[in-house]
Amino acid sequence: MPAGGFTRALSVFQEADIMIRRIAAALIGAAALLSASAPSASLMTVFAEDAYAFDFTIGGSRYVEREIEKKYGADGIALYRTIVGQLADYACNGADIEDRMLITVDRSIKVEYEQGSAIVGYVFKNNPQFYWLGNAWKYDMWRPKGDTDWYIGDIRVAVIDEFRDGAHRKDTSAELARVLDDYHRLVAEKNTTLEKLMAVNDKIDADTFYTSADDISHRSIGCLLRRECVCEGYSKAFQLICNREGLGDTLFVEGIGYNGSTSEAHGWNIIEFDGAWYYVDSTWNDILLTDQHGNYLDNSERWHDYFMRGSAYMEYDHTISAHLYAGSDQSDPMKYLDYPPASPVDLKAYIYGSSMKLGEGMEYTLYCAAVDDDVYDSSDFSMLVTIDGAEQDIKGIKKNVDGREVVAFTMDIPVKNIADSISGTLTVQDSDDGLSFSADYSLAPKDYLTELYEGSEGTQRALAAAALNYAAAAQEYKSYNTASPANAGIAAEDKAIAPLTPDMLDGGYQLADRDNGVSITAAALDMMSKTRIRVYFRLDESYSEDYADGSGRAEARITAPDGSVTTTAINSAYEKLGRCGRDGELYWVETKGISPVSYAAPVTIEITADGKTTADSLTYSVHDYFKGKCASSSGIEKLAAAMYAYGKAAEAYVG
């Protein structure tokens, strides 16, 4: 997951021969969101018959909770959660309220009364699910014997008149739960977090008309139930849905909006996405159409001019309040919180998903999608990634995947590093506005494979398990990160690897003529996404005389297992290995990109001197390498067996 980002679920689908993991938002339940005590049993059973149980403790921002704990300590966050928990009980308990709702505060919670009043204000501002709250509260004060400090005691909060009726409040809560269930199903149909956010913005705007009538127009239910509200209603509905669905930590923002000629109090949202904060103004995204009499028309056109914007864009017509505070006193920093700092630039792109062509190797590809299609034409995409301690600067390649345009970043990852988190920085340089957008990500190829394993069956599941076992065996052989094996997430029975038998590694090593002047002396295997094999050999004097003095030239014509032919220079091994020992020159050639289905297939190497192809050739395979290693040394048998099993699983999957 991206650094500083939120919890994500990973879904795997198959497009042609590319298995792609889409990165989508997860629904975060109460256990994941709250470290407060669980809500009462009555609250949790009210909607037990519904598919989507509604928990009234969820709706506020986790950023606010973290800031309260930092500023006011353990007692401060305990007070905040006490208030939230008891207000949540009032949502569905059916109790009538004669005057105000009573919040009882245990004397073990000691918060200075003015700071406590500020915390009450944060509850009001940060919890749009409490639609029935009025705009005032009062509290008791107490102090221990001999103490000079006064602490906040029981709190009595104002309630909008119509919601004093417990039955009406309970029915309204049930109706709100059903509407939020509709939003839950809506976002579940979308693939990426950004698509989900866009869908929420669009549905709010499609269903809602802007109007100012009463207190309800400033509440989330003004937007979600009555479907008529002011900007505060739009924004609190957006906050409630985003926080419930885990689409990104979302706050309600207060400030001033400028429409070109006048200014007025305005509200919108700030949301965390991939470790940065962006603004969304669903009110100003709603195009208001009227007839000649000034009556609002049904508006179907959607606008996104104020969607995932940075501060540089918003500052032209939005001014955010200095602080998120509860009262009028902004001189005392203990009586307000600061808003999170917004990104200076708009969100331009995000990681859409990832893929690995397991039948061809474990080459890992990240797909980036632009927020606006125009960005593809006006921008350059690049990604700086760190793999096995080394940086790689990868240029993006535009592709069409699953019917949409994306930018692909393909990286070659050593098998032993499959369990690592691959850290990267995505950069989008936009030539239109001259701004450079960047975002940090951290994603593990192991997560893709594990998700594929869990969500598939048959040969595809077996292939994912074999790939994870191969990576874990490479970790063990290289003594690398063995505390976090790649196959940790698969069933015990699927971790079993059949031992090698003598016939398994019959690769077919041979020379065209054992007396032809070519002799293999060594081989090396590079376990990258697609395997590379390097063969070291000697040439006798008949070759040396042709080019040893520098006037001649030697090449190797290599026929890979897939039939492709390349010509490459024969390289001296002195620089690679130092002194070769023994008389005669040592040379090497390398074949890249051997897929797992070709581990047993030979690579054919023909030696050419001074442009003349001789009859001298040799064949060598991945199986030949392991056969020789297993015969000459111990400790590699498990890796060889795992690689063999991976190759066979790939053959079965490809068919």
Instruction: Give the tens place of pLDDT for each residue, 67-84.
Output: 999 999 999 999 999 999
Pair 146, 54 in one domain:
yes
Amino acid code (one letter) for 277 = W
289 is written with which tokens? 């159409």
Q: Is residue 433 classed exposed, middle or buried when 0-12, 13-18 and 19+ CB atoms within 10 A define those classes?
A: middle
User: Do residues 286 and 268 make contact, with C-beta atoms less than 8 angstroms apart?
Assistant: no
Closest CA to 221 of 206, 212, 231, 234: 234
pLDDT for the residue numbered 518: 65
Helices (H), 208-335: 220-221, 231-245, 311-314
In this structure, how many other beta carbons lie within 10 angstroms of the beta carbon of residue 265?
12
> Would you place residue 39 in the very low, low, confident or very high pLDDT band (cuts 50, 70, 90)?
very low
Name the more confident of 413 and 50. Answer: 413
- Secondary structure (3-state) at 414: coil
C-alpha pair distances (Å), 154 with each of 95, 164, 206: 19, 19, 42
Q: What is the CATH number of the domain that holds 574?
A: 2.60.40.10
Residue 428 phi/psi, 5° resolution? -120, 115
The answer to whether residue 42 sits within a structural domain is: yes
Residue 170 phi/psi, 5° resolution? -65, -45
Give yes or no for residue 342 having a pLDDT over 70.
yes
Pair 320, 380 in one domain:
no
In this structure, how many other beta carbons lie within 10 angstroms of the beta carbon of residue 460?
20
Name the more confident of 605 and 185. Answer: 185
> Would you place residue 535 in the very low, low, confident or very high pLDDT band (cuts 50, 70, 90)?
confident
Average pLDDT in the chain: 79
Lowest-pLDDT range, 17-21, 335-339, 360-364? 17-21
User: Do residues 239 and 265 make contact, with C-beta atoms less than 8 angstroms apart?
Assistant: no
pLDDT for the residue numbered 129: 96
Alpha carbons 94 and 170: distance in angstroms, whole number? 6
Segment 583-611 shows an average pLDDT of 72
User: Do residues 55 and 30 make contact, with C-beta atoms less than 8 angstroms apart?
Assistant: yes
Instruction: Give the tens place of pLDDT for each residue, 454-492.
Output: 999 999 999 999 999 999 999 998 999 999 999 999 999
pLDDT for the residue numbered 379: 86
Work out the angle at residue 576's Cα, subtended by the Cα atoms of residues 571 and 577, and round it to the nearest 5 degrees: 115
- Map tokens 């919180």 to a residue: 337
- Secondary structure (3-state) at 57: coil
- List the beta strands (DSSP E) in 245-378: 250-258, 263-273, 276-280, 307-309, 318-320, 324-325, 336-337, 349-356, 364-370
Pair 372, 271 in one domain:
no
Give yes or no for residue 45 having a pLDDT over 50.
no
Name the more confident of 22 and 266. Answer: 266
Pair 518, 612 in one domain:
yes
pLDDT for the residue numbered 506: 60
pLDDT for the residue numbered 231: 94
Among 434, 450, 466, the domain boundary falls at: 450
Give yes or no for residue 650 having a pLDDT over 70.
yes
Beta pairing class for 263-273 and 250-258: antiparallel
Alpha carbons 77 and 33: distance in angstroms, whole number? 14
Query: Can you spell out the DSSP letters for 80-133?
Result: HHHHHHHHHHHHHS----SS-EEE---TT---BHHHHHHHHHHHHHH-TT-TTE
Alpha carbons 116 and 138: distance in angstroms, whole number? 11
Q: Has this prediction a pTM greater than 0.85? A: no
Lowest-pLDDT range, 45-59, 426-440, 484-498? 45-59
Lowest-pLDDT range, 149-153, 440-444, 587-591? 587-591
Give yes or no for residue 165 having a pLDDT over 50.
yes
pLDDT for the residue numbered 384: 92
Give yes or no for residue 92 having a pLDDT over 90.
no
Give yes or no for residue 40 having a pLDDT over 70.
no
| β-strand partners of 354 | 21, 366
Cα torsion through 13, 16, 19, 25, rounded to 10: -40
First CA to last CA distance, the chain: 34
Name the more confident of 424 and 507. Answer: 424
- Answer positive or negative: Cα dihedral of 173, 175, 180, 185: positive
- Secondary structure (3-state) at 563: coil
| β-strand partners of 266 | 255
User: Do residues 169 and 160 make contact, with C-beta atoms less than 8 angstroms apart?
Assistant: no
The answer to whether residue 136 sits within a structural domain is: yes
Give yes or no for residue 651 having a pLDDT over 70.
yes
Segment 224-240 shows an average pLDDT of 95
Q: DSSP character for 643?
A: H
Pair 199, 328 in one domain:
yes
- Report percent pLDDT > 90 for the chain: 43
In this structure, how many other beta carbons lie within 10 angstroms of the beta carbon of residue 582?
8
Residues in the chain: 655
Give yes or no for residue 180 having a pLDDT over 90.
yes
Where is 394: in which H helix or E strand?
A: strand 390-395
pLDDT for the residue numbered 323: 83
Give yes or no for residue 551 having a pLDDT over 80.
no
Segment 517-540 shows an average pLDDT of 73
pLDDT for the residue numbered 38: 30
Alpha carbons 8 and 10: distance in angstroms, whole number? 7
- Per-residue b/e over 382-420, b at no fewer than 16 CB within 10 Å? bbebebeeeebebebeeeebbeeebbbbebbbbbbbbbb
Segment 437-453 shows an average pLDDT of 89
> Would you place residue 376 in the very low, low, confident or very high pLDDT band (cuts 50, 70, 90)?
confident
pLDDT for the residue numbered 568: 73
Give yes or no for residue 579 having a pLDDT over 60.
no
pLDDT for the residue numbered 216: 92
- Secondary structure (3-state) at 435: coil
- Secondary structure (3-state) at 49: coil
> Would you place residue 214 in the very low, low, confident or very high pLDDT band (cuts 50, 70, 90)?
confident
User: Do residues 21 and 191 make contact, with C-beta atoms less than 8 angstroms apart?
Assistant: no
Work out the angle at residue 406's Cα, subtended by the Cα atoms of residues 403 and 411, and round it to the nearest 5 degrees: 125
Pair 47, 149 in one domain:
yes
pLDDT for the residue numbered 230: 93
Alpha carbons 274 and 371: distance in angstroms, whole number? 14
Give yes or no for residue 8 having a pLDDT over 60.
no
628 is written with which tokens? 């020789």
pLDDT for the residue numbered 540: 66
The answer to whether residue 573 sits within a structural domain is: yes
The answer to whether residue 503 sits within a structural domain is: no
Query: Can you spell out the DSSP letters for 605-641?
Result: EEEEETTEEEEEEEEE-HHHHHHHHHHH-SS-HHHHH
pLDDT for the residue numbered 179: 95
Name the more confident of 532 and 399. Answer: 399
Q: What is the CATH number of the domain that holds 199?
A: 3.10.620
Pair 519, 432 in one domain:
no
Work out the angle at residue 188's Cα, subtended by the Cα atoms of residues 185 and 192, and round it to the nearest 5 degrees: 145
Closest CA to 307 of 359, 269, 352: 269
Segment 174-192 shows an average pLDDT of 93
Segment 501-509 shows an average pLDDT of 63
Specify which of 28-42, 544-558, 626-640 reaches the highest per-range mean pLDDT: 626-640
Give yes or no for residue 96 having a pLDDT over 90.
yes
218 is written with which tokens? 């400033």
71 is written with which tokens? 């500023």
- Secondary structure (3-state) at 146: coil
Pair 18, 38 in one domain:
no
Among 289, 306, 337, the domain boundary falls at: 337
Instruction: Give the tens place of pLDDT for each residue, 294-319.
Output: 555 555 455 788 999 999 999 999 99
pLDDT for the residue numbered 105: 96
Lowest-pLDDT range, 151-160, 210-219, 228-237, 486-495? 210-219
Q: Which residues lie closer than 8 Å to 298 by C-beta, 6 or more apart?
A: none
Give yes or no for residue 594 having a pLDDT over 70.
yes
Domain that holds residue 306: 190-337
The answer to whether residue 55 sits within a structural domain is: yes
The answer to whether residue 312 sits within a structural domain is: yes
Among 311, 337, 363, the domain boundary falls at: 337
The answer to whether residue 519 sits within a structural domain is: yes
Pair 84, 18 in one domain:
no
Pair 153, 205 in one domain:
no
Pair 200, 331 in one domain:
yes
The answer to whether residue 472 sits within a structural domain is: no
Give yes or no for residue 52 having a pLDDT over 70.
no
Alpha carbons 551 and 611: distance in angstroms, whole number? 12
Closest CA to 194 of 372, 378, 384: 372
Domains of the chain: total? 4
- Map tokens 């074949």 to a residue: 591
Pair 18, 67 in one domain:
no
